[in-house]
């Protein structure tokens, strides 16, 4: 009789054991993968329930079946969902995610006290997870415990600032649309306060919104409030509160706000045609005149603004240059401007000042003079007491004759607004 050497036998047994172990892991992985994918598919409730029977000791299968059942509003489905989460919790008692979903299922079943215990358990298992604090906080708010809920929500926002926008809306609704109460919910959490200021402004509570915005910490990272600040500034601008809009926008960009002053009066920065701020230089549509910075003809600084007119026809075809300026109501200002005009036709180009909200012209300057040397001119205007924003525009008068052309070069530099009273 042939006797197999012991070392060969051990080798074959080891190979067989290895194959068995790999097969078990593959089977487990396949089962887990199927059940895990089932929980993310919208048409897999039957598959998830079948997997429970195939792998009843796997918490993932119970979890997947419960998730699908929770999407059905029938009594039978709600009971099945609750049972599924109970089984998942029993099989995976240290999974904070399962405890959160179990808490939600209990809440849907009307068992608030047990649901509260489930959310508490999730918080014990994952005390530093923003998602847990967010879920627990929202549960407390839904149960009428808004003060306690927003303690959790503010904690969630500190870890995940992207929750702030939804939290601000929740604070507004939970307050019964009471601005003071909503501000209390925001507490001292800056990202939430910034988001709530936007919600309040959209609801027309501009005084509360600007007060909340001004109270933000000076050391708050600009990235946390930039997008919110730009939206908030536009709301104030569109509602005729220009000084507030300027203050908000300046804070969002980390700049200083200055009432009664131009942004970039010496044209040292390129004029953006896409992402200009509310109080930056704006260019009208079209290509005539072409407008660029110029570094060889300038009055001071590095550049002047160069406008090249290429024989445009009517007034509407000319590209306008303008800037909105926040000013003090009832104040009188003197607008001082410097230019150099090498124009080959009589252009009737002039500066004009109008009240933005009132859509009313306050003053027009005289037509620019054709002069190859730098020229300084000025004119004054008074701001109506009912507004705090003007727009200053370089425009051309309407033409009555034909042809109506403007050709040549114009340089602008060193603009000023000087308050006279």
Q: What is the pLDDT of residue 4?
A: 46
Q: Are 389 and 326 in contact (CB under 8 A)?
A: yes
Residue with tokens 């508490």: 120
pTM of full prediction above 0.85: no
Give the position of tokens 């000087």.
418
Residue 312 predicted with pLDDT over 90: no
Q: Which two tokens stand for residue 368?
A: 């620019």
CA distances from 106 to 39, 64, 85, 93, 109 (A): 19, 17, 9, 16, 5
Ordered domains of the chain (ranges, CATH):
20-253 (1.25.40.10), 282-419 (2.60.120.260)
Q: Quick one: DSSP state of residue 132? A: H
Query: 74 CB contacts (<8 Å, ≥6 apart)?
Result: none
The two three-digit tokens of residue 77, written as one number: 């489905």
Q: What is the DSSP letter of 299?
A: S
Cis preceding-peptide flag for 417 (omega within 30 of 0)? no
Give backbone dihedrals phi and psi of 276, rounded to 5 degrees, phi first: -70, 145
Kind plus residue range of the DSSP H or E element containing 75: helix 75-91
DSSP 8: H
Residue 223 CA neighbour count, 13 Å, CB half:
2
Distance CA 374, CA 295 (A): 15
Q: Is 364 in contact with 350 (CB distance < 8 Å)?
A: yes
Bond before 289 cis per omega within 30 degrees: yes
Residue 28 has pLDDT above 60, yes or no: no
List of long-range contacts for 11-16, beta carbons under 8 Å, 24+ apart: none
Strands 290-294 and 360-364: unpaired
Rounded CA gap, 205 and 180, in Å? 10
Dump pLDDT digits (tens) for 160-169. Answer: 999 999 999 9
Q: How far apart are the C-alpha atoms of 385 and 38, rounded to whole Å?
A: 66
Mean pLDDT across the chain? 83
pLDDT tier at 72, thresholds 50, 70, 90: low
What residues are paired with 364 via a beta bridge? 352
- In this structure, the number of other CB atoms found within 10 A of the CB of residue 137 comes to 26
Q: How far apart are CA 421 and CA 303, in angstroms?
A: 32
276/168 Cα distance (integer angstroms): 28
Cβ neighbour number for residue 268 with a 10 Å cutoff: 15
Q: Tell which wins on pLDDT, 187 or 87.
A: 187
Residues 45-64, mean pLDDT to the nearest whole number = 56
Q: Identify the residue whose tokens are 């507030």.
A: 244
Give the pLDDT confidence score for residue 149 in this predicted structure: 97
Q: State yes or no: pLDDT of 417 exceeds 50.
A: yes
Residue 34 has pLDDT above 70, yes or no: no
Structure tokens of 372?
A: 């190859």
Distance, in Å, from the CA atom of 380 to the CA atom of 334, rounded to the nearest integer, reads 4
Could you identify the residue written with the tokens 């303690």? 151
Placement of tokens 């300038």 in the chain? 298
Residues 94-129: tens digit of each pLDDT: 889 889 988 998 998 899 999 999 999 999 999 999
The confidence band for 66, taking pLDDT boundaries of 50, 70 and 90, is: low
């Amino acid at each position: 009789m042939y006797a197999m050497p012991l070392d060969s036998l051990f080798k074959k047994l080891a190979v067989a054991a290895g194959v068995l172990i790999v097969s078990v892991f593959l089977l487990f992985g396949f089962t887990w993968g199927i059940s895990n994918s089932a929980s993310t598919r919208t048409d897999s409730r039957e598959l998830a329930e079948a997997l429970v029977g195939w792998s009843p000791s796997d918490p993932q299968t119970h979890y997947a079946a419960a998730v699908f059942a929770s999407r059905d509003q029938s009594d039978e489905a709600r009971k099945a969902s609750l049972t599924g989460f109970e089984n998942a919790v029993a099989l995976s008692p240290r999974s904070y995610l399962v405890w959160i979903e179990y808490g939600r299922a209990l809440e849907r079943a009307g068992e608030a006290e047990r649901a509260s215990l489930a959310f508490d358990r999730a918080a014990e298992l994952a005390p530093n997870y923003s998602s847990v604090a967010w879920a627990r906080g929202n549960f407390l708010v839904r149960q009428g415990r808004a003060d306690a809920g927003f303690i959790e929500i503010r904690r969630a926002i500190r870890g995940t600032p992207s929750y702030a926008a939804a939290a601000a809306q929740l604070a507004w609704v939970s307050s019964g649309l009471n601005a003071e109460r909503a501000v209390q919910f925001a507490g001292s959490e800056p990202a939430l306060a910034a988001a709530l200021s936007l919600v309040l402004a959209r609801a027309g509570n501009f005084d509360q919104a600007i007060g909340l915005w001004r109270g933000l910490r000076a050391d708050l990272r600009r990235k946390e409030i930039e997008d919110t600040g730009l939206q908030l500034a536009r709301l104030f601008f569109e509602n005729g509160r220009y000084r507030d809009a300027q203050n908000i926008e300046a804070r969002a960009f980390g700049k200083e706000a200055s009432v009664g002053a131009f942004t970039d009066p010496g044209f040292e920065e390129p004029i953006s045609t896409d992402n200009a701020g509310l109080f930056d230089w704006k260019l009208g549509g079209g290509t005539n005149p072409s407008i660029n910075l110029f570094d060889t003809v300038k009055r001071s600084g590095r550049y002047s603004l160069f406008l090249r007119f290429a024989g445009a026809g009517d007034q509407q075809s000319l590209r306008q240059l303008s800037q909105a300026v926040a000013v003090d109501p009832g104040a009188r200002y003197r607008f001082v401007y410097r230019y150099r005009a090498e124009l080959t036709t009589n252009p009737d180009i002039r500066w004009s000042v109008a009240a933005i909200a009132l859509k009313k012209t306050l003053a027009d300057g005289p037509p620019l003079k054709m002069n190859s040397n730098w020229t300084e001119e000025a004119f004054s205007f008074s701001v109506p007491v009912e507004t705090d924003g003007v727009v200053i525009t370089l425009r051309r008068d309407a033409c009555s004759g034909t042809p109506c052309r403007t050709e040549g070069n114009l340089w602008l530099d060193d603009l000023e607004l000087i308050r006279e009273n």
